[in-house]
Amino acid sequence: MDQPALACFALTRRYGDKVAVDGLDLGVRRGEFYAFLGPNGAGKTTTLRMAVGLLEPDEGRIEIFGADAWKDPIAARRVTAWLPDEPLIYDRLSPLEYLDFVAGLWGIDGATARTRGLALLERLGLGDNIAQRCGTFSRGMKQKTALAGALVHDPQLIILDEPLTGLDANAARDVKTILRERVEAGATVVLTTHILEVAERLSDRIGIIACGRLHAEGSMAELRARVGRPDATLEDIFLLLTGETMDAAEADPQAEVGAT
């Protein structure tokens, strides 16, 4: 039980001459809501894509509940859900057919898959659309269908890259509520978002990455102490810390800046 849900050790990924993730050490505790934040190009999505097995690290190691994500990928992926910022669903399937298909990939029996699928679609406001083809859906409806697909196998680690993209206020509220409920039931959520107010309200801990390195991590109280401003918002903290890192990197691209 002491093993973290997600742990990265000296994780490094390069694209040609560019270092996207630079010796990253990261630990996400079991049963917490963790917001993984950073400016564009900071390495967030690259890190998460490595964590779920879509990109192979150049260096370093990733563990999911103690299982090596690359040496034992089946064990790691069995308990993990991944929702990218541009999810792929099948336009010719209805959302219920799509969930049946995804559940079958996880080896879930048909009756259980149907019960879970119906409950998720109803919960996400798609109960009236279960027979409609996904190709006719708005972006927000597709996003909600993809989220249901990510949750249908009841994962213990849920990793989401900008999951609120394309959602209206009501749908975004439903998604946030579902994710928080999953955490309260014992699952772990790792989320990236550019909506800092969402991260501030929902997260137990926050990690801020810049230039491929973890620059700060902690609860809101700990981050406020880090910047010496007890009344700071997450936006204040984010701009202060990422601004310092970018300034240092521009001054000396080889410098080790602010990793904690």
CATH code at 1-79+156-260: 3.40.50.300
pLDDT number for residue 165: 82
pLDDT number for residue 86: 86
Compute the distance between CA of residue 220 and CA of residue 46 in angstroms, rounded to an integer: 25
Mean pLDDT by 10 residues, the chain (260 residues): 89 96 96 96 96 96 95 94 91 96 94 95 93 93 94 97 88 91 96 94 96 95 96 95 61 40
pTM reported for the whole predicted model: 0.90
Compute the distance between CA of residue 95 and CA of residue 137 in angstroms, rounded to an integer: 10
Compute the distance between CA of residue 8 and CA of residue 247 in angstroms, rounded to an integer: 26
pLDDT number for residue 256: 39
Compute the distance between CA of residue 122 and CA of residue 148 in angstroms, rounded to an integer: 10
Compute the distance between CA of residue 6 and CA of residue 249 in angstroms, rounded to an integer: 28
pLDDT number for residue 85: 87
pLDDT number for residue 248: 46
SS (H, E, C) 199-260: HHHHCCEEEEEECCEEEEEECHHHHHHHHCCCCCCHHHHHHHHHHHHHHHHHHCCCCCCCCC
